[in-house]
Amino acid sequence: MKNEQSSTDRAMYILLTLGIMAGLVMLILIFQSLPQPQLY
């Protein structure tokens, strides 16, 4: 039971990390899609 619980916590931690990374990627894509002043 204890090993199963630790593996569950690890899975939740991995899902949380993937969610944060996905959120950062979405923010980057949104900022890139916004109209920006042309520097070149």
Would you give per-residue pLDDT tens digits along the chain (40 residues)?
A: 566 788 899 999 999 999 999 999 999 999 888 877 676 6
> Distance between CA 21 and CA 27 in Å, rounded?
10
The two structure tokens encoding residue 19: 């969610």
What are the structural domain ranges in the chain? 1-34
pTM of full prediction above 0.75? no
Position 34 scores a pLDDT of 82
The two structure tokens encoding residue 33: 């899609």
Position 39 scores a pLDDT of 64
Position 33 scores a pLDDT of 87
> Distance between CA 9 and CA 3 in Å, rounded?
10
